[in-house]
């Protein structure tokens, strides 16, 4: 099936920056330093970080984004995981329609946040930095499962498959480039019947690309981190779309 991936068809785009830090930061043992850091984030970047939420074993910052048509979207934009912090900076979200969010220079925000994290936790090592671009490509009323399944050579597989998730590992330039492709719905009218009319359904293809450095034992330098961010910025979406369309 001939479907062309294109930037114009991106209905949702979320960017996530992940940091693997050792020894791990603990919400319990590092509570005061963590809360001070989160308050710094909220003060420096109120367009991204808004409300600190603290629990016995969790810590995160949430943000309510105002959308067109008086709609609102609440997202966790900073989450402390077992491996380290994850910063989520949405670029476009889909709620009834695509909404672009005005967050300028995401890389700059992450760089400053990471510099401050290193300053406050100077006894830790940063072993890995990753950038994840989560895309949803709108395929309209073309069944996205059929689009993905068309890449299978076996006719029986294409005819009988009910769901499909493709995982690709494509390391290059001393970086891990991991790709996930799977079908989804962009929108679907709620109904009590499973037989939803095709005109009430819009399909989509989820494409997640995770770019991070290969395993090291030493602390990542600022130059190495910058190299990862530049590579990820160059790869998504232009080079990614070329790969999806087999234009190499």
Which pTM was predicted? Answer: 0.93
The tokens for 219 are: 């602390």
β 85-95/10-22 pair status: antiparallel
- Cβ atoms of residues 102 and 47 within 8 Å: yes
- DSSP state for residue 200 in the 8-state scheme: G
> Taking a C-beta distance cutoff of 8 angstroms, is the pair 112, 48 a contact?
no
Lowest mean pLDDT among 25-34, 69-78, 185-194: 185-194
pLDDT averaged over every residue in the chain? 93
pLDDT at 197: 57
**Residue 39 near residue 153, CB atoms below 8 Å:** no
Contact (Cβ atoms closer than 8 angstroms) between residue 205 and residue 183: yes
Candidate from 118-127, 182-191, 225-234 with smallest mean pLDDT: 182-191
Pair of tokens at residue 51 = 């409300």
Percent of the chain having pLDDT more than 70?
95
What is the predicted pLDDT for the residue at 104? 87
Between the CA of residue 217 and those of 20, 205, 213, 221, 231, what are the distances in Å? 12, 36, 12, 12, 21
Q: Report the pLDDT value the prediction gives residue 192, as an integer from 0 to 100.
A: 47
- φ, ψ (nearest 5 deg) of residue 42: -65, -40
- Reply yes or no on whether the pLDDT at 191 is more than 70: no
Check residue 152 and give its pLDDT.
92
pLDDT digits (tens, 9 = 90+) for 129-172: 999 999 999 999 999 999 999 999 999 988 999 999 999 999 99
Confidence grade of residue 58 (pLDDT, cut at 50, 70, 90): confident
Q: How many CA atoms lie within 13 A of 56 on its CB side?
A: 0
């Amino acid at each position: 099936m001939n479907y062309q991936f294109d930037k114009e068809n991106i209905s949702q785009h979320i960017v996530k920056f992940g940091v693997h830090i050792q020894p791990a930061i603990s919400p319990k043992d590092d509570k005061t330093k963590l809360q001070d850091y989160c308050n710094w984030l909220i003060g420096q970047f109120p367009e991204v970080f808004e409300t600190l939420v603290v629990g016995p074993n969790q810590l995160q910052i949430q943000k309510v984004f105002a959308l067109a048509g008086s709609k609102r979207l609440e997202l966790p934009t900073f989450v402390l995981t077992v491996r380290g912090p994850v910063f989520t900076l949405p670029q476009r979200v889909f709620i009834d329609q695509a909404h672009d969010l005005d967050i300028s220079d995401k890389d700059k925000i992450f760089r400053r946040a990471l510099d401050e994290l290193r300053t406050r936790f100077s006894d830790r090592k940063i072993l890995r930095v990753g950038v994840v671009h989560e895309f949803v490509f709108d395929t309209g009323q073309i069944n996205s499962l059929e689009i993905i399944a068309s890449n299978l050579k076996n006719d029986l597989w294409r005819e009988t498959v009910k769901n499909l998730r493709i995982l690709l590992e494509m390391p290059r330039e001393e970086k891990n480039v991991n790709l996930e492709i799977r079908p989804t719905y962009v929108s679907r009218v709620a109904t009590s019947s499973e037989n939803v009319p095709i005109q009430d359904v819009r399909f989509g293809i989820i494409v997640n690309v995770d770019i991070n450095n290969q395993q090291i034992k030493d602390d990542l330098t600022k130059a190495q981190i910058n190299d990862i961010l530049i590579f990820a910025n160059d790869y998504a979406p232009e080079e990614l779309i070329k790969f999806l369309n087999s234009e190499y």
